[in-house]
Structure 1
Amino acid sequence: MTSSSLCRLLGAGLLALALSPAPASAERIANKVAVFSGLDKITGRTTTFDVKVDETVQFGTLRVTPRACYTRSQSEAPKTDSFVEVDEITLDRQIRRIFSGWMFADSPGLNAVEHPVYDVWLKDCKSESSDPASAG
């Protein structure tokens, strides 16, 4: 095979690759409720709690506010993530942002909130809350 025919063949392959449709990415499903777990390091007690998107729930001295919570369809590999803001209420009653970013349920240690007294991490997202404390 000559070098010019090899170049034409390679060029045709690259053109076909460039014109082929991109693989479909997994569709994200927006959910109304984020499910978190929190650890009180003083008592050793772990609590699971629901928080509606754009609402705030207090866990100890932390205020947890999910801004978005996404999952994939049942036919896709599990991937659950949430954009979360966490504020701390200080001893002098000031509110200080200590975390703003994405949390990933499949990697809870990656972006969990680690505080001297409390840890908070994302467990799941769901369409409706089953927690009576977050209803209403």
Structure 2
Amino acid sequence: MLFKKNTSLGKTKSNLLIFLFFIFPFFLHSEQNLEGNYTNIKILDKISSKNILVKLKNGEAKKYKDLLIKSMKCKNSEFDDNPEITAYIQVSDLTNKNKDDVFVFNGWMFSSSPSITPFDHPVYDIWLISCY
């Protein structure tokens, strides 16, 4: 009777070690790249029918005419076939003298579905364009 050595167990262990040390860090690195430092939004002035692309650094407020806009965080989706961009944005109306209304908009915006959490202002519309 001949005995066979079990070499498949050794191959499985070596394949697992290769995966853990060489391939797995790439997955961790790709997830960290999903969050960006800058947010691009497009602002439409409904009165003049002109739009402008505004680049926001996350965490810093930027004034555009009567609006004070601040992007807190933005993130790209991990799916390439249907990319989704989300950003947490705060918008204040500087013409509003009522100090009880802190923000005109304070929440998450989605690039593919702006109607989920709409920005409601009589003069301006804001759309999320990109995150990088």
TM range (shorter): 0.5 to 0.7
The 2-side partners of 1:122 and 1:38 are apart by 9
Q: Does 1:31 align with 2:36?
A: yes
Match of 1:104 among 110, 122, 125: 110
Give the deviation of 1:99 after TM superposition.
1.0
Q: What is the TM-score of this pair, normalised by structure 2?
A: 0.66
Q: Which amino acid aligns with 2:58?
A: V
Partner Cα distance (1:72, 1:91) in 2: 35
> In the alignment, what sits opposite 1:90?
95
* Unaligned segments of structure 2, at least 5 residues: 1-29
The answer to whether residue 58 in structure 2 is matched with residue 45 in structure 1 is no
TM superposition shift of 1:42? 1.0
Distance apart, 1:76 and its partner CA: 5.5
Task: Please tell me the residue identity of whatever aligns with 2:48.
Answer: T
Whether the 8 Å contact between 1:84 and 1:100 is mirrored in structure 2 is: yes
Structure 1 residue aligned with 2:124: 118
Unmatched tracts of structure 1, length 5 or more: 1-25, 127-136
Structure with the bigger percentage of helix: 2
Greater radius of gyration (CA): 2
Larger strand share, 1 or 2 = 1
Q: Distance in 2 between matches of 1:124 and 1:104?
A: 10
Q: Which residue of 1 aligns with 2:73?
A: 68
Q: Secondary structure at the match of 1:82?
A: strand
2: CA distance between counterparts of 1:60 and 1:120? 13
Amino acid at match of 1:32: N
Contact 1:87 1:98 survives alignment (8 Å): yes
- Structure 1 residue aligned with 2:16: none
Taking structure 1 as the reference length, the TM-score comes to 0.65
* RMSD of Structure 2 on Structure 1 (CA): 2.4
Per-residue deviation, residues 26-80 of structure 1 (Å, max 9, x unmatched): 9471100000000111100011111000011122211111110000347463111
- Which residue of structure 1 lines up, in the alignment, with residue 86 of structure 2? 81
Match for 1:38: what amino acid? I
